[in-house]
Amino acid sequence: MPKCTIDGKEVEFKPGENLITVAKRAGVDIPVFCYHPGLTVVAQCRMCYVEVEKMPKLQTACSTNAAEGMVVKTNSENVKKGRAGTMEFLLLNHPLDCPICDKSGECDLQDNSYGHGSAYMRHSEERRTYVDVDMGPVIEKNMNRCIHCTRCIRFGDEIAGIREMVAVKRGNNVDITTIDGEALKTEYAGNYADICPTGSLTLRDFRFRKRAWMLKKTASICEGCSKGCNIELQHEGNVVYRTIPRENLEVNKYWMCDEGRFNYHYTQDETRVLEPRWNNEKTSWEDSILAVKTALEGKKVLFLVGTDLTLEEMSAIREFTGLYYPGSVLQHFGTPGIETSAQDQPADKILKMTSKTSNLRGAEKLGIVPHNPRVDHDFSAAVVFTGGRAVLPELGHAIQVGVGVFLDKDHQTAKYQHILPGLAYTEKDGTIINHQGKEQKLKRAILPRGRSKSTAEILMLLANKKTKVGVA
């Protein structure tokens, strides 16, 4: 492997790697704005200046490939001066509205200005201002804060596959906007806010709700589809405020779709069932468990597990049904029309899959067969386990028991005789298997809401022989 020297350290590199990647491996962080590892290199912001020996002028590290024997200085006086100059130029027209801006706290411009810029400003002219276009329901735009890094333009072009953002006008008047001022059409619009190094593009959903530094972060997995995108749940005070993608080059690279990003909302919905219900009336866990046991006693029971549950939960349910309800049927359900992993295909060219639940492969691995509503199974009671994401099947007039996350507004909870509230994906640990067969871990971010219990606990209560059937 060829070697080069960065700040006196010898680093090996693969031919074709740029200096930012190589320097990172040497433990040297080069400040960047326009460079993003998932996008093409344009060397537009001029922040990543480095000094290369035998080159007369400063070079941009993002567009300079490492070469054999190259000697790079990232901290010389010249480089510092160059970066300070760049910072001063970038801040010429940047409004000092960090107190208002949602990006502050996680803003590249703040960090780099603090690290490499000057604390004083020499210019006193009026700043350039813009009138902003409406960017649709996902993104809020503030062009005054923009530093023209064009990350958003490149993201739309190269990742989202739709060229919707453009730079119009030239020079000082450059305006980064959508074509004809239309709203964003891509289903990956949330990423615009993630990659924007300033507060120019921010999430409407998150607008003014919390400051970035107040949020606690939990690395988890998205349950929106079988892709299994790596996400970070950001929460505070037992409330999830947003989800952002985590880098995983094998699964989702740096991105996630809007469906997954805003999926967490249902777990905090006002109409979520948070207390055990018996014929649509609130009841205690003791009464509820006894009633369920009585209802299932001596019946042929159909157990349905949603493919949005974790492997651990499915396995516990399988064991439970085998031990306590022998002769019952155990089947899985999830997305209508997608019953096996062979039917689960990419829904677009980027990330989305057709299976809208996360753990279809896991259910198959445990040997659970898909539920077919067309085949009559001759059962008189059904227990439905769901994580809230799977589309609940029609079950006719049998006694129905629901375990898991149910919303009054769209899960038709009135049809269920009993509802035992379970945990949503933000509230539990577990393993899910994505469409590549990768096992990934869900991590609990917040504590269970209301009086909901985990599936394992509910099964334990149902299995407990001390709660005698018929006493209630």
Partner 1 sequence: MLVKRKPAIWNRLYFVEIIQGLWITFKNFLFHKKVTIQFPEQRRDYSSRYRGQHYIKSVNNVENCTACMLCPTVCPASCIHIIAGEREDKEKYPVKFDIDILRCCFCGMCEEACPKDAIKLSNIYEMSQQNREVYEKDFLLEQRGNK
Contact stretch for partner 1 (CB under 8 A) within 10-18, 205-213, 359-367, 430-438: 205-213
Q: How far is the CB of 467 from partner 1 (least distance, A)?
A: 43
Stretch that binds partner 1, among 210-218, 263-271, 300-308, 322-330 (CB under 8 A): 210-218
Smallest gap from Cβ 460 to partner 1, in A, equals 38
At closest approach, how far in Å is the CB of 98 from partner 1?
A: 7
Q: Which residues of 107-117 are buried (b: 16+ CB within 10 A; e: fewer)?
A: bbbbebbeebb
Nearer to partner 1, 216 or 282 (CB): 216
Q: Around 355, how many Cα atoms within 13 Å sit in the side-chain half-sphere?
A: 29
Encoded one letter per residue, x for contact with partner 1 by CB under 8 A and - for no contact, window 125-144 reads --------------------
Name the residue nearer to partner 1 (CB basis): 64 or 113: 113
Neighbours of 233 (CB within 10 A): 25
d(CA 462, CA 185): 48
User: Which one-letter amino acid corresponds to residue 174?
Assistant: V
Residue 96 C-beta: closest distance to partner 1, Å: 9
Give the span between the Cα atoms of 327 and 17, in whole angstroms.
Answer: 61
Residues 348-387 that bind partner 1 (CB under 8 A): none
Return the number of the residue (97 or 111) whose C-beta is nearest partner 1: 97
Please tell me whether residue 185 binds partner 1 under the rule CB under 8 A.
Answer: no
Cβ at position 244, least distance to partner 1 in Å:
19
Spatial contact of 361 and 341, defined as CB atoms under 8 Å apart: yes
Q: How far is the CB of 105 from partner 1 (least distance, A)?
A: 9
- Using an 8 Å Cβ cutoff, are 451 and 276 in contact? yes
Nearer to partner 1, 120 or 208 (CB): 208
Q: Judged by CB under 8 A, which of 119, 122, 170, 208 binds partner 1?
A: 208
Interaction between residue 209 and partner 1 (CB under 8 A): yes
3-class secondary-structure state, position 463: helix
**Residue whose CB is less far from partner 1, 187 or 236:** 236
Contacts for 44 with CB less than 8 Å, ≥ 6 apart? 34, 148, 149, 150
Tokens of 5: 């020297």
Q: Which is nearer to partner 1, 207 or 466 (CB)?
A: 207
β pairing state of 329-333 and 369-370: parallel
Between residue 313 and residue 332, which ones bind partner 1 under the rule CB under 8 A?
Answer: none
User: Shortest Cβ distance from residue 208 to partner 1 (Å)?
Assistant: 4
Applying CB under 8 A, among 168, 214, 369, 414 the residue interacting with partner 1 is 214
Cα distance between residue 289 and residue 282, in whole Å: 13
* CA distance readout (Å), 398 to 288, 381, 411: 18, 5, 17
Identified binder of partner 1 from the candidate list 57, 122, 207, 374, rule CB under 8 A: 207
Q: Which is nearer to partner 1, 174 or 212 (CB)?
A: 212
Nearer to partner 1, 199 or 245 (CB): 199
Site size with partner 1, rule: CB under 8 A = 11
Q: Which of 33, 38, 21 lies closest to 245 in space, CA to CA?
A: 38
By beta-carbon proximity to partner 1, the closer residue of 91 and 459 is 91
Give least dist CB 288 to partner 1, A.
36
**N- to C-terminal Cα distance for the chain?**
75
Can you tell me the distance from the alpha carbon of 305 to that of 307, in angstroms, rounded to the nearest whole number?
A: 6
Whose CA is closest to 98, among 158, 142, 164, 148?
A: 142
**The one segment of 111-119, 192-200, 202-210, 379-387 that binds partner 1 by CB under 8 A:** 202-210
Site string for partner 1, 78-117 (x = CB under 8 A): -------------------xxxx---x-------------
Looking at the Cβ atoms of 138 and 403, the one nearer to partner 1 is: 138
Residue 84 Cβ, how far from partner 1 at the closest point, in Å? 23
Q: Of the two residues 145 and 246, which places its CB atom closer to partner 1 in the complex? A: 145
Q: Check binding of 120 to partner 1 (CB under 8 A).
A: no
213 binds partner 1, rule: CB under 8 A: yes
Q: What are the CB-based long-range contacts (under 8 Å, 24+) for 47-56?
A: 47/83, 47/86, 47/87, 47/90, 47/112, 47/116, 48/19, 48/20, 49/79, 49/82, 49/83, 49/86, 50/19, 50/23, 50/74, 50/79, 51/76, 51/78, 51/79
| Cα–Cα separations (whole angstroms), residue 36 to 39, 190, 230, 349 | 5, 16, 18, 21
> In the complex, which residues of this chain contact partner 1 (CB under 8 A)?
97-100, 104, 207-209, 211, 213-214
